[in-house]
Structure 1
Amino acid sequence: MIDFQKARQAFQRYVSQYDANIPSIRMKIIHTYEVMKCSDYLCEQLGLNQEDKDLASLIALLHDIGRFEQWMKYESFADYKTVDHALFSSHLLFDDGLIREFIDDSQYDQIIKVAIEQHNKYQIDQGFDERTLLFIHLIRDADKLDNFRVKDEEDIETTLYVSLTQVNQETISPAIYDQFYHQKLIYGPTRQTHLDMWLSYIAFIFDLHFSVSLKYIREHDWVNRSFDRLNPQDEKTHQQYEILRQKAIDYIH
């Protein structure tokens, strides 16, 4: 049984340790609640029962629990420079025992643990049963869906750590252009510029599992809104950028 009021109160207590006036901390608190909304949307669209909705919401509430301590230790959310935030979140919850602050019943522990550990992977590991995969796909899609809102609402400096002017002066790396052009999720280590990074966020659409997730993208016009935030100044780069915009639009339709 999931007591969601208990879980939300525990989350509020946990994040109260961190200064919400720090933009990155505030961003992750808001992100957590918005991922829960995206998860609820997917569950409603998929017609899931209340138990599964509650479990999906709990996973959404906890999926980035390690982000706060990650920021305080490293002042960065770049996993490749710091720690894998999904595994760190799992460690806090299940190795340090934090999970019992959120839910007394241990019957859901394995699904929660696995879903959190898999939510940021480039590819899902093999060998999971159908029910576990459902919750893995739910949190992966919900997390990606809210990333479009984050990139739309937050300052470029907060999300890319450089100025808008600098990003617009950059070019698209050949490897990134090729992956996006062929409608593939971008492999993080191949990114070389901040513009590459921005395109990698938009390329999340290529990894969405549920058709209703693509519907959500269309309903909010996230592809155009994301592309519109930048305006590459180099003529060739601008042309490439618009070609990739059309590739993304073609994909979601």
Structure 2
Amino acid sequence: MIDLYKAKKAFQNYISQYDMTIPSIRLKVVHTYKVMECSEYLCKQLHLSKENSDLASLIALLHDIGRFDQWMRFESFADHKTIDHALFSSQLLFEQGLIRGFIEDCQYDKIIQDAIEQHNRYRIDDGFDERSLLFIHLIRDSDKLDNFRVKEEERIEDILYVSLDKVNQEHISPAIYQQFFHQELIYAPNRQTHIDMWLSYIAFIFDLHFESSIQYIHDYHWVERSFERLQPVNPQVNQEYQTLKQIALEYIQKGVQYES
């Protein structure tokens, strides 16, 4: 049995040890609950059972639980420079035993662990059965969907750790431009500039699994809103930026037409 009320109380108790006045800590708390909302949206669109919907919500609640210690240790969320936050979250839950504070029933442990460990992978590992893949795709899509809200509501300084003026003066790395141009998910360690980072977030659309996720991006105009936050000052860079915007918009529009 999954008791989401109990799980949410346990989560509140867990995060109470962290300073909520730290922007990055607060950001991840809000993100956690918003990912749950995105998960609920997808589950409703997919007409999943209450059990499956509740399990997806629990995974969403716990998927970033390692982020808080990650920030306190390194003052960074860059996994390739610090620790893999998904594996660390899994270790906290299943090696250190925190999972039993969120759910007593152990029958879902393997699915929860697999979904959390796979949610930030560049590519999903092979070997998962259909049921496991359902929850892996749900948390991956839900996480990506809320990242668009995060990138709009939060200050650029709290997301990219530099001023907006500095970002707008940068260039787009050729490798990143080519990956985006060919509608590919961007491999994080390849990013060289903060504009590269920004484009890598928008490129999440190329890895969305569910048609409902594409519809969500379309309905909220997330591609347009994300691109509008930056205004590269170099004419050539701005032209490249607008080209990639058009590619992203066409990708979403095609996905919506395919669904209808």
Fold shared by both chains (TM-score > 0.5): yes
Q: SS of the residue aligned with 1:80?
A: helix
Query: Which residue of structure 2 aligns with residue 164 of structure 1?
Result: 164
Identity %: 70
1:241 and 2:241 correspond: yes
Q: SS of the residue aligned with 1:103?
A: coil
Distance 2:211 2:252 in 1: 9
Distance 2:25 2:182 in 1: 35
| 2:202 alignment partner AA | I
Deviation, structure 1 residue 188: 1.0
Distance 2:80 2:132 in 1: 27
| 2:99 alignment partner AA | I
Query: Which residue of structure 2 aligns with residue 65 of structure 1?
Result: 65
1:173 and 2:191 correspond: no
Query: Which residue of structure 2 aligns with residue 193 of structure 1?
Result: 193
1:93 and 2:97 correspond: no
Distance 1:156 1:142 in 2: 22
| 1:101 alignment partner AA | G
Distance 2:69 2:176 in 1: 31
Distance 1:4 1:202 in 2: 31
1:30 and 2:18 correspond: no
1:74 and 2:74 correspond: yes
Structure 1 residues 82-135: Cα deviation after superposition (integer angstroms, max 9, x where no partner)? 100000000000000000000000000000000000000000000000000000
Query: Which residue of structure 2 aligns with residue 102 of structure 1?
Result: 102
| 1:42 alignment partner AA | L
Cα RMSD of the aligned pairs, angstroms, is: 0.4
Deviation, structure 1 residue 19: 0.6
Query: Which residue of structure 2 aligns with residue 117 of structure 1?
Result: 117
Moved more, 74-83 or 221-230: 74-83
Q: 5 Å matches for 1:199-210?
A: 199-210=199-210
Gaps in structure 2 of 5+ consecutive residues: 254-260
Q: SS of the residue aligned with 1:106?
A: coil
Deviation, structure 1 residue 225: 0.1
Distance 1:214 1:105 in 2: 34
Stretches of 4+ aligned residues off by more than 2 angstroms = none
Query: Which residue of structure 1 aligns with residue 250 of structure 2?
Result: 250
| 1:97 alignment partner AA | G
Gaps in structure 1 of 5+ consecutive residues: none
Query: Which residue of structure 2 aligns with residue 213 of structure 1?
Result: 213
Deviation, structure 1 residue 153: 0.2
Query: Which residue of structure 2 aligns with residue 133 of structure 1?
Result: 133
Distance 1:103 1:49 in 2: 19
Q: SS of the residue aligned with 1:144?
A: helix
Structure 1 residues 16-45: Cα deviation after superposition (integer angstroms, max 9, x where no partner)? 000111000000000000000000000000
Deviation, structure 1 residue 190: 1.2
Distance 1:71 1:183 in 2: 31
The TM-score normalised by the length of structure 2 is: 0.97
| 2:19 alignment partner AA | D
Q: SS of the residue aligned with 1:232?
A: coil
Distance 1:77 1:182 in 2: 27
| 1:36 alignment partner AA | M
| 1:91 alignment partner AA | Q
| 2:30 alignment partner AA | I
Query: Which residue of structure 1 aligns with residue 256 of structure 2?
Result: none
Aligned length: 253
Distance 1:173 1:128 in 2: 35
Distance 1:244 1:4 in 2: 41
The TM-score normalised by the length of structure 1 is: 1.00
Query: Which residue of structure 1 aligns with residue 258 of structure 2?
Result: none
Query: Which residue of structure 2 aligns with residue 39 of structure 1?
Result: 39
| 1:173 alignment partner AA | S
